[in-house]
Structure 1
């Protein structure tokens, strides 16, 4: 990163890009473009749906179009007028168009919903291959995407139908949707009215309310949720809430309209997020995804079980009410989350959520309600358990059979109603889940007791009503504890969300005015008093202070700030008053991007989760089979019907798919959350897994291991006065933003200031950068070049031996050498320029910490060998690759993979590092660098501290270890518990208790990661 970047002849190519919905999409497109060899810079505009690429002349536009297509989006080259130029898609071109890479007649991509394991992938691939004209089908479980090569006559609709017939959902990706279809006309949704219903106690109440509402003229659909005690009614515009309330009251229940405002109209290609309630396992998440994907206009829907949130991506405008209705129909609860700056567009009205809308407040209310239900179930179950506990002491407290029936029935069908509802939805979806096992097990115990009571009411013998009631109580208790623990895993997100102020103090004409944050725009000046939280991203225009950025960057000490310095929304001002000019608001702030990154990482599935998916697919059917075999086995053994049924019940209730399902996401949420709190942003689960397996890390030098703020340490003029040579060098470099260029300009300005500002200014024209070599320009009628020793040798310019020896001596001392040269006739050296940079304080400790963990380090830099060797020696790095051109850094990364084996990570911060970051198994970018580098990387460090690299590897290893521990416990628990239950060694009540606490233990173990402390403090 020591030479200015450009090509010997650079070109700018503009693309129209279709299918981008969010910041994540722009990041993927940007990374794909930056990874194309020869690309110097890539900027993607989400609003304009364009990409602007600066690249060498050797880069063909079709290479860029193909790269975008491979990333899952549609692209076309723009002409000078900004219109799309018809070009064959790289993936669609015939062999004649691309002789080196023959392609199928067409390539179609589909987003697949409902896959949980490798067998699902196999079924989808087989279904696609059977479609006439398909030559190849490849399905990626991690991205849930299918890529199909087929003849031109095959349509995306045919492929989607084939997938749906195989039992999965499928929608064409935006890149395979015709442009006119990008904004479909959605059917007008009927008016949606919601009512809070009072007095319902069971499913029959729900049915009566729904029937009463459906009878109202104009009502097209009525759905009542017992758990939320809410009715959602779709009706024509002439139906009023008062009519619906009257209908409910006539049915014998209370009703009041909810004060829910209609969701605002969303723009085309909108993304909608929903909070989902009522999910208990992975199969629930799959059903919600399928329900959302079936809504017209939905391109893709993903559901995160751990965060209980759905992200819906639309090809056109999406109606939130329609999505909520779809989820409700599927048997779950859905609501719009509170406004979030992390997702809202800049300038959106981000008023604080009311208590009724605040998702945290809602979840707290739900937790209180769940706790009360547990207490109620426990109070009714206690009389059933008391006789069993008193019997060893000779106390006979046996309750009458009819009283046991009454108590158990209330618990079974009142407090346990949720298990039946969820089990019924699972059966309808032809899947299984924990609720199905609990419902079957408790129903078997309840049914056995009821049969014994009815057979001989006077002398029924020992009844087992306590088993069904206590199991329901214990499972509900376990789920309540689990929800409390899960909420703690999302503490990082809640802490980040809490940093968002909702108001700002705008400064206009010297007067401060307190306004809602939604009224602040880019360029607005905001006043920040001592102790206040910074409301926007911006630059200080007045004042100085110390800013506490600990919750954003992990930096424990306040950072001094002065005029021109950047401040970040969410940080806390120290002792000084500041005036800040806003540079970013809403979703564009650093804080919002951090929240999105953490949420995205927590939503990802780790590759190891595929094993869990394969097991989960057959888990419930296997347990049902074992329970049946247990029942038959004990009957054959002559143990009696009661014993056989109770042992089968124990098998059903001890089996716990929840522990398996929570093992990985709980650890990922806790690990990525604590990492974010310490300044390490892990973009996805794959980066997390690869980071913990890293064997060698390649470091860029300038700005990564050194401060990146070089200064001129020596300037030796040759044949011209020093002041004149320095002025010429500054003129050549003044238009560049490279650190070395800034150092030359700073040295010249300081020299002019020392001379009283009398120096004559020199202006350069036709300045252009030459990749990996330097800059050339016309100054005062002569062609000048300023760059590396390699460039000097290529130009064939001779250097006096004494000067060459001096340059070598400066290099050995760790300086970077550049030459100011006359490039026209006669060619000659005008000056030797040496630059020095300071090694970052934590760099040596970081390298030592990595070495202690068995991770080797290598230095990959475009700087000269002497400077690179000096830095490497100071830091203890044994392997050095110097004078590496930007395009060759990716090649060096590939060499490291071959020579070292294993996983290779790359750490950098500049545009020239982007190809290497993309080529590495794990890209690690400094947030102090460029956006291109950060978009390309899998891990972003919020501070330019190399010690964070060691922290990233450490937290990745610890998180992965927790995943392994959780999976070991979940598997061993089931492998040991199920056989014990089948052999009759576990009472159903004990089995239920063990099942209830298995998932709690998994989440609690993951929460231990919150104790982790990084080295970079």
Structure 2
């Protein structure tokens, strides 16, 4: 049954109707008609909302409201009512952006569309990340909005790997060098007399010859500035192109005026060289900037190049070469020595060594046997192997890595939002300053010729590009070099926050240890082989279907000793405590001392032995029968080897001035033994999974007062809440997908030493951001007054403007030299 309500804002009739916007969006979490009424009340009570309809059957809301109401306001109202607005993310490639002001215009155009929740545009990657309420704003509407704002947009194909490519890339100003060469050839004769004057050589080209050389530079090679500037004017905004167009047109126009009015009276003062050389320098700067920006995306291009176009598929005993896109999950793929593995999969035949250096950062080849997993893009070093495909296309490891790096590079760091606010008003302010300069020199000094030249210098030297590129280029370079070293950073916020980390909390099993525990001791209450075998058999039965590392250790020992494992029924995991099951008619419990204490099991018989084992760093599990009276049956002790890199990892963090903590569900003895061996500062033991997040919260409260941040490093499902609670979650890729999803940083190798590297690259990246922003602001704050007071010629101003963006990008590119310390 369809339930639809309508909520209308009470009040007198409106005499002059105001145009209303209409939004339609999905609402999630409604279960009955009362939910509908609650959502409608929340929406209808917002100022500016004229009508709100919610349909329970379709789970859709329709709202009519004035232009003062935004989709973000509606979303907040729905969430405060206890429901959620369904949303999806869309990615666009944006063309024709030239400066930070363009970013603000594109974002504004996208955000004005009904249904758009947020829009982030990145100048360096030339992409837009748009979140829309499900089904409300289509891709074509987004593209149309960008087009209306004066830019081009096209879809980024979700092929699994790579970004969308510009359909007109060959036409982009940075794509070819010939316009710069031609502009330089035409401008050189105009600039040479100016340079000759420095050496006492005074000569000048004929005025009409100067006009002949400058005109094609101004209106042909410089036409892009007029086109982009006109689009900005039509959209009621400004950009760098508008500043260049106005400035060079003023210099060119003054020269034409002087030539026409005073040309017959002798050699007039002409400034064709100013307009022509400025356009040439700006074109050169944009070309150099485009080349430098391309280098910041080198990491993604290197990853894209790893995927082979074809694969050798085996069907019915025959091998055939097919496109990788034709391979399906479950297909067998043959990989010869020296070839790249085409798909993610599991080796079903053969053994080899594979080079995964470009994916994980691991420099040494990794030995692989039957049953081991291989990653698409890795190089098969020696043996022929047959791989059963487990993931293809967008779900492959390589595709997910590329998506994560692209997403991180496209997202904005928090500091960028301040820059965007400045950039949004930058061009209008500069035009205002140029106008003041013009009037000041013209009215006060009485020299309108000088006034025009100084105003031109103000317009030309102002550079919003450097502001717009300062942060994203550093983030692109930082995330790119991190990816090459096996550190995947999910978003720019994680990268920015990581530089403030003062405490790193580690999980133990699988993070600092190998995560492959073995049963090192097994003791039964009755000292007989039969009793020992029974304890092992029952323990294996309880854990037969578990993926927990300790469970695998028990089942492997039972298999090794050829123990017959009985069937278990009513198997249940008790979070943070252990497991329960019925085996051979017995109610059995296996787990931690806390679990046994809650069951009132007497552990005194093995208390001393357990304490001795725990002091040696062993993990102890207890087996009890609770069928009638709780009775202890035995204990199992597990040993897990510390990773060779665990010690150096902790030492490197201490060298960076960072404290370390161990947060584990293991017993006190085992936790303290590991902490002592690794010299970890703080220890939290016997922590339940649900309490790990609370421990992280306590650390954040303590460190946050001093301006520091807390990171959590883990690899399992039980670490996910703590990873999400930390300021920065760091997950091992050797762990679960749940952990990686909750983390802001993923380490592609199970090497804890990469944690220090991740923090180090974050610090270096943030330092580059601060350097770039300082120089971008300093350049404008110092350069504009110098130009306004007549201390810079338009040509010098143009050269400075062209070099400012290039210097910012080049400074960011220095991050590519960074080398991690993790082996």
Taking structure 1 as the reference length, what is the TM-score of the superposition? 0.72
Matches within 5 A, 1:827-906: 827-901=630-704, 902-906=708-712
Structure 1 counterpart of 2:416, from 609, 613, 617: 609
Output the CA distance in 2 between the equivalents of 1:473 and 1:658.
17
2:48–2:68 CA contact under 8 A, matched in 1: yes
Mapped to 2, the partners of 1:969 and 1:658 lie a distance apart of: 12
1:696 corresponds to: 503
Residue in 1 that maps onto 2:289? 482
1:457 aligns to what SS in structure 2?
helix
Listed as ranges, the matches of 1:766-781 within 5 Å are 766-781=570-585
* Partners of 1:626 and 1:651 within 8 A in 2: yes
Matched, 1:307 2:125: yes
Alignment of 1:665-704 (within 5 A): 665-704=472-511
Alignment correspondent of 1:417:
223
Structure 1 residue 562 displacement after superposition: 0.8
Query: Is 1:1013 paired with 2:816?
Result: no
Q: How much does 1:299 deviate?
A: 7.6
1:726 aligns with 2:499: no
Q: Provide closer, same or farther for how the CA distance between residues 776 and 272 of structure 1 changes in structure 2, counting only shifts above 3 A.
A: closer
SS in 2 for 1:359: coil
Paired residue secondary structure (1:608): helix
1:975: Cα distance to partner? Answer: 1.3
What is the Cα deviation at residue 633 of structure 1? 2.1
2:48 to 123, 128, 131: 131
Residue 742 of structure 1: which of 545, 548, 552 is its match?
A: 552
Superposition pairs for residues 961-976 of structure 1, below 5 Å? 961-976=767-782
Does 1:523 find its partner at 2:330? yes
User: Residue 714 of structure 2 aligns with which residue?
Assistant: 908
Post-superposition Cα deviations, 1:746-803, rounded to whole Å, max 9, x if no partner, equal 1111111xxxxxx4431111111111111111111111111111112222222344x2
After superposition, where does 1:410-809 map in structure 2 within 5 Å?
Answer: 410-458=216-264, 459=266, 461-638=268-445, 640-719=447-526, 721-752=531-562, 759-801=563-605, 803-809=606-612
Q: Secondary structure at the match of 2:814?
A: helix
In 2, the alpha carbon distance for the partners of 1:133 and 1:569 equals 55
8 A Cα contact 1:445 1:465, kept in partner? yes
Gap change, CA 1:621 and 1:825, over 3 Å in 2:
same
Residues 319 and 776 of structure 1, relative CA distance in 2, 3 Å threshold: closer
Q: Distance in 2 between matches of 1:904 and 1:836?
A: 29
Matched, 1:75 2:28: yes
Please list the CA deviations of residues 671-710 of structure 1 after superposition, one character each: whole Å capped at 9, or x if unmatched: 0111111111111111111111011111111111111111
Q: How many Å apart are 1:274 and its aligned residue? A: 4.4
Q: Residue 507 and residue 788 in structure 1: after superposition, are their counterparts in 2 closer, same or farther (change >3 A)?
A: same
Alignment partner of 1:614: what SS? helix
* Separation (CA, whole Å) in 1 of partners of 2:40 and 2:662: 42
Shift of the 105–299 alpha-carbon distance from structure 1 to 2, 3 Å rule, reads closer
Any idea what the Cα deviations from partners look like across 1:596-651, whole Å, max 9, x if unmatched?
A: 11111111111111221222122222222222222222234425111111111111
The answer (yes or no) to whether the contact 1:160–1:172 under 8 Å persists in 2 is no
CA deviation map 1:455-475 (0-9, x unaligned): 222135220111011101101
Q: Matches of 2:26 and 2:490 in 1, distance apart?
A: 20
Residue equivalent to 1:179 = none
Distance 1:892 1:93 in 2: 40
Structure 1: distance between partners of 2:601 and 2:456:
89
Q: Pairwise CA RMSD of aligned residues? A: 3.1
CA distance in 1, matches of 2:328, 2:245: 55
What is the CA–CA distance in structure 1 between the aligned matches of 2:118 and 2:776, rounded to whole Å? 31
| CA–CA separation in structure 2 for the residues paired with 1:546 and 1:300 | 46
What is the alpha-carbon distance in structure 2 between the residues aligned to residue 368 and residue 309 of structure 1? 17
Q: 1:906 aligns to what SS in structure 2?
A: strand
Q: Which residue of 1 aligns with 2:161?
A: 342
Deviation at 1:369, TM superposition (A): 5.2
CA gap of 1:841–1:361, structure 2 versus 1, over 3 A, is farther
Matched position secondary structure for 1:762: coil
The 1:944–1:163 alpha-carbon spacing in structure 2 relative to 1, beyond 3 Å, is: same
| Deviation digits for residues 850-903 of structure 1 (CA, Å, limit 9, x no counterpart) | 111111111000000000000111111021000001111111111112233321
Q: Deviations over 1:903-941 (max 9, x none)?
A: 111111111111111111111111111111111111111
Q: Is the 8 A contact 1:788 1:819 kept in 2?
A: yes
Give the stretch that moved more between structures: 363-372 or 786-795: 363-372
Instruction: Tell whether the 8 Å contact from 1:343 to 1:587 is kept in structure 2 after alignment.
Output: no
Q: Which residue of 2 aligns with 1:371?
A: 177
Map of 2:8 onto structure 1: none
Asked if the contact 2:243–2:427 (Cα under 8 Å) also holds between the matched residues in 1, the reply is yes
Higher mean alpha-carbon deviation, 155-164 vs 511-520, is at 155-164
Which whole-Å CA distance do the structure 1 matches of 2:570 and 2:175 have between them? 72
Structure 1 partner of 2:19:
none
Q: Is the 8 A contact 1:452 1:460 kept in 2?
A: no
Distance 1:88 1:572 in 2: 59
Distance 1:900 1:273, change over 3 A: closer
SS of 1:161's equivalent in the other structure is coil
Given the alignment of the two structures, is residue 955 of structure 1 paired with residue 758 of structure 2, yes or no? no
Report how far residue 555 of structure 1 moved.
0.8
**Distance 1:321-1:606 versus aligned 2 partners, 3 A rule:** closer
CA distance in 2, matches of 1:504, 1:333: 36
Change (3 A) 1:306 1:88: farther
| SS of residue in 2 equivalent to 1:662 | helix
| Superimposed CA distance per residue, residues 347-388 of structure 1 (whole angstroms, 9 cap, x where no aligned partner) | xxxxxxxxxxx9389747746754110111111111211222
Q: Secondary structure at the match of 1:162?
A: coil
Is the partner of 2:67 in helix, strand or coil? helix
Asked whether the equivalents of residues 674 and 1012 of structure 1 are also in contact (C-alpha less than 8 Å), the reply is: yes
Q: Which residue of 2 aligns with 1:33?
A: none
Q: For this pair of structures, how many residues does the alignment match?
A: 779
Q: For residues 422-471 of structure 1, what are the alpha-carbon distances to aligned partners after superposition, in whole Å with 9 as ceiling and x for unaligned?
A: 11111122222111111111111111111111222213522011101110
Tell me if structure 1 keeps the 8 A contact 2:43–2:49: no
3-state SS in 2 of match to 1:825? coil
SS at match of 1:456: helix
- 2: CA distance between counterparts of 1:813 and 1:626? 74
Go from structure 1 to structure 2 and tell me whether the alpha carbon gap of 1:305 and 1:169 turns closer, same or farther (over 3 Å shift).
farther
Q: Answer yes or no: is 1:162 the counterpart of 2:60.
A: no
**1:382 alignment counterpart:** 188
Q: CA deviation at 1:1008?
A: 0.3
Structure 1 spans left out of the alignment, 5+ residues: 1-71, 78-84, 95-102, 109-127, 135-153, 177-181, 184-268, 345-357, 753-758
The 5 Å alignment of 1:280-319 reads 280-289=98-107, 302-311=120-129, 315-316=134-135
Partners in 2 of 1:171 and 1:899 — Cα distance? 36
Correspondence list, 1:94-133, <5 A: 105-106=41-42, 130-131=47-48
